[in-house]
Amino acid sequence: MSIDFITDTLEASRKPIVAAVEGFSLGGGFEIALACHARISTSTSKLGLPELQYWDSSWVWSLLMLNESEKDEISLHRDTLKKFPKFCTLYCKKRRTQRLPRLVGLPKALEMILTSKRISGDEACNMCLVDAISPSDQLLGSACQWALDILECRRPWSISLFRTDRLAPLAEARTLLNSVRAQIQKQNPNVIHPLVCIDVIEHGILCGPRNGLWKEAEALHELRQSDSCRSLVHVFFAKQSTSKIPGITDIGLLPRKINKVAILGGSLMSSGIATVLVLANYYVIMKYIDQNSLQNGIGRVKANLEGRVKEGRMTQEHYKKACTLLKGVLSYDNFKDVDLVIEDVPDIVSLKQQFFADLDECCPPHCIFASTTCIVNLDLIGERMKPCSWIVGIHFFSSPSVTDLLEIVRTERTSPQTLVDLLNFGRRIQKTPIVVQNCTGYAVRRMCFPYLQAAMLLVEYGADAYQIDKALTSFGLKLGPFRMLDQDGFQSATVHDVKFLETFPDRSYKSNLIPIMRKNNREGKYTCQGFYTYNDKEEASPDPEISKYIEMARSMSGITIKSKLATLSDGEIVEMILFPVLNEACRMISEAIIVKSSDLDVASVLGMGFPGYRGGIIFWSHSVGSKYICSKLEEWSKEYGEFFKPCAYLVERASKRSSLGAQVKQAKSLL
């Protein structure tokens, strides 16, 4: 299809063909535009190749990544594509490795291909990817005139596939490709598809673009058979299904419009949330207790926006508009017409109760009240409020502008309308929302808890902390457990530890290691000393002093070193850390904490850094087998205690040799 139709029919046409781009030109649509003899675009159009993250996806799939308002804008194009399903599914799975480097040069092409970066029409024009920018109401006329100008030789007839003027000399190109290849291999040795893209680009440069197209087709056929392909496709569809809640989103409710959002709290998280909201064109009110806090908080938001301008991710005009959407206040006078309030004050029950009681008096009846806590029970927070169905949890992750996940937490009083409103809100701020029941830690924290505790247990019984981190990152996780603890900070770890030990005492491992390190003024990355030491560039280095703190913790707990743990292989470490995570995930499935088991795959990938090319924590378990997982947990529980004891759901699935994933029945909150 790539050669017969796009190359030999479209690109080789004896009539000039000009692409008029408005809205979204992604994946297959972008390739069609590249094959045209010229491209005219509006300034706000989006062009790019989103498939590398989901590299076996068609263009139709990439359209599903857009939020609802964006989907409406291109619904006509999507309906048109439905008439050509064979074209979409067969052709659009090709990577765009041959034309893009010839149009914009190798460095920029590699950036767009390997990072799935989307660019605006203005950016595309600056890099000569499109030939001209036109206002939306003049776009079609401009494109038609450009085609006539080509025909009459007033403009060049450009065939993208055979251009060489933007390609660097062969030696320079090879040096760049080798450098990028080495970086990718260093960052994640388990991922092969970016390397295949580089190989195909290099083949096209060395052997000609037509040979490159054939090489691309062969490489695609091989990649489609891989486990990584199936895993990434699963994650993609799992992300799309998080917004489909039986009995909620299928009963005809339409989302109400949220225009004005108020944020209570002066933390870094509050400023991060405000930044995300103004970027999504929400009017944001930030309430503070004093003028100094107000200036600092608003200053942090503006600094976040200025950083985007410096990085070229935001224009000065967009920056000014975003600033006009932000307002700092010291009273509730401006809360009379807010649609959503997000509370982000310290996790003190009485303090939160007072804030929500005050909000209940000054906000309109339709206002949704949301808390960012994952420690305090939401039912306790709303005790002083009038009976209402608008209270909910809305849990952002650090940092809000980076992490794509949003946990929406419902209680027994949360109405279906509120959930529909917040699911739409999550999509509008470009997050992937998952709905969870009210419980300690919600979905992500509940999985992170055994992840961190298992690491503590292994270290105190004789395993090496740095080998544990290395084994988990080699497996594909973004952060090993000890780097994760440093990143979050020991104060946060202590607070969550206390709460989990109170809630789940029967399956918790109590370690003294963090308290000992805190007594020695180690608080993690924030103080440049945790399990690692950090230099001025925030680069982490192992710290030999850690061994003495581990020995002190071991002595306090009366633990004897198990010699076999000191010689664990990386594979055994991965199992001893991740099988307890799977055990906790099984408990959440059986307790109906989440809507469907695939939601835990999304939560693990976006929330705790589980590798997407392994499909998420539940999907990965299919390749291991429930019987094996259960048998190993039973073996370890006999030797190391109840922490490893498999839950009833896991035992049942293992006895039937069934997969751990299952459709979850709806249940009331256990709290």
Catalytically annotated residues: 31, 51
CA geometry: angle 270, 117, 298, nearest 5 deg: 20
Angle of helix 481-488 versus helix 444-460 axis, rounded to 10:
120
Contact present, 433 and 426 (Cβ < 8 Å): yes
7-36 burial, b at 16+ Cβ within 10 Å, e below that, comes to beeebeeeebbbbbbbbbbbbbbbbbbbbb
Number of neighbours of residue 653 by Cβ within 10 angstroms: 24
Distance of CA 273 to the CA centre of its chain: 15
Nearest to 379 by CA among 414, 428, 330: 414
Rounded distance between C-alpha atoms, residue 429 and residue 415, angstroms: 22
Rounded distance between C-alpha atoms, residue 240 and residue 66, angstroms: 10
Count of residues in the chain = 671
Rounded distance between C-alpha atoms, residue 446 and residue 234, angstroms: 22
Rounded distance between C-alpha atoms, residue 33 and residue 182, angstroms: 31
In sequence order, the β-bridge partners of residue 523 are none
In 111-230, which ranges are E strands? 118-120, 132-133
Rounded distance between C-alpha atoms, residue 143 and residue 40, angstroms: 6
- Going from the C-alpha of 176 to that of each of 73, 98, 180, the distances in angstroms are 39, 16, 6
Rounded distance between C-alpha atoms, residue 258 and residue 278, angstroms: 13
Return the biggest CA–CA distance within the chain. 88
Computed from CA positions of residues 135, 136, 138, 139, in that sequence, does the dihedral angle turn out positive or negative?
positive
Nearest to 216 by CA among 31, 61, 87: 31
Name every residue whose Cβ is closer than 8 Å to that of residue 157 and which is 6 or more positions away in sequence: 16, 37, 150
Q: Which two tokens stand for residue 290?
A: 């004093």
Peptide bond into 399 cis (omega under 30): yes
**Residue at 112: amino acid letter:** M
Angle of helix 570-590 versus helix 444-460 axis, rounded to 10:
140
DSSP state of 642: G
Nearest to 89 by CA among 119, 53, 33, 51: 51
Q: Which residue has the tokens 């306790």?
A: 380
Contact present, 93 and 220 (Cβ < 8 Å): yes
Rounded distance between C-alpha atoms, residue 20 and residue 642, angstroms: 64
For 3-51, the DSSP string reads IIIIIIIIIT-SS--EEEE-SEEETHHHHHHHHSSEEEE-TT-EEE-GG
HEC string for 494-539: HHHHHHHHHHCHHHCCCCCHHHHHHHCCCCEHHHCECCEEECCCCC
Q: Report the SS3 class of residue 99.
A: helix
